[in-house]
Amino acid sequence: MPELPEVETVKRAISPALAGQCIKSVRLTRSDLRWPLPDGMAAHLTGQRCGEPRRRAKYIMVPLEDNTTLLVHLGMSGAIRLYDNKPEFGTHDHFSLEMETGSWMVFSDPRRFGHLDIIPAGGEAEHPLLSHLGIEPLSNHLSGPWLSDVLRGKKTPIKSALLDQRLIAGLGNIYVNEALHMSGISPRRLAQTIAGKRAEKLVIAIRTVLAAAIEAGGTSLRDHVQPGGEIGYFVQRLSVYGRTSEPCLTCATPIKELRQSGRASFYCPSCQR
DNA sequence: CGCGCTCCCTGGCCGC
DNA sequence: TGCGGCCAGGGAGCGC
């Protein structure tokens, strides 16, 4: 499901249920997610008070009162739901927290590409899943000059470079396609040719598309919903993603599709160069 | 070193 | 309606 806007939306949604509240019980029905969950995770969490959840790239981090951190990654198919009372659990509800308020937070993930972990106190910078992450695209670090600098000499297509979490962390397949369309850049263009005005334009497009998606509550594809059951409305504003053969909203040229590094790319052959 | 491919897993959809 | 093949919003690990 989730790229940065969806994860940000989930984080905001679960924040009121978790922040300042104690975990009353933990329901853990399988430990074989992307990697085996750490031993004793349920016991570690039980009874602890949660702090304010934070987001880093596509990860959610919940600080705990013993200064360790609960790390949550939703993978491709992960979702979090909130309930006021104990719910009926489904097959893929692998991990749930019962809060002292009586509400439940349920982590569900059919494909099990998601992951949960406990980060030791002070260990976030060294965590193997976090240490290599690049800059946050909504931070001040992202600028035209910075982007042209990190892309200098890169012969990979710009599409692949934008998906590389070691450079910019949080973009995924939907928003990379959308940002490239918004900035008039072909997904095939070599990364090293993005500089100057073109880099500025791409940076603005990345920020604009992410901010708009967050504001819309993310993009709901297929049956995915946000924690409270709401859908994300950004799906109605996608310009190219999933619109193969449909007219470009700018120039009416049919949208084309290709595969790059095993992932679908969607682009307007007329607007994007 | 840096790149692209494969794989992890389940479920939904499409075509026959 | 049943079934095989293909596809999916991520990303680590490996081979070239």
Give tens-digit pLDDT for A131-171: 999 999 999 999 999 999 999 999 999 999 999 999 999 99
Q: What is the mean pLDDT of chain A?
A: 95
3-class SS of residue A185: coil
Report whether A254 contacts A243 (CB < 8 A): no
pLDDT band at A252 (very low <50, low <70, confident <90, very high): very high
Average pLDDT, integer, range A21-26: 98
Sign of CA pseudo-dihedral A10, A16, A21, A26? negative
Confidence of residue A226 (pLDDT cuts 50, 70, 90): confident
Which residue in A248, A149, A154 sits closest to A203, CA to CA?
A149
Is residue A197 part of the annotated active site? The answer reads no
pLDDT for position A1: 61
A3 is catalytic: yes
Q: What is the pLDDT of residue A225?
A: 79
Mean pLDDT (whole number) for A189-194:
96
pLDDT digits (tens, 9 = 90+) for A42-69: 999 999 999 999 999 999 999 999 999 9
* A62 to A15, A53, A66, A119: CA distances (angstroms): 9, 4, 12, 10
- Cα distance between residue A198 and residue A193, in whole Å: 9
Q: All domains of chain A, ordered by start, with CATH?
A: 4-119 (3.20.190.10), 144-267 (1.10.8.50)
Average pLDDT of the residues in A6-34: 96
Which residues interact with strand C by a CB < 7 Å criterion?
A 1-3, 6, 34, 57-58, 73, 75-76, 111, 113, 129, 132, 163, 165, 172-174, 218-222, 224, 232, 262-264
Percent of chain A topping pLDDT 90? 92
**What is the mean predicted confidence (pLDDT) over A127-134?**
95
Q: Yes or no: say if A165 and A134 are a contact pair by the CB < 8 Å rule.
A: yes
Tell whether the model's pLDDT for residue A223 goes beyond 80. no
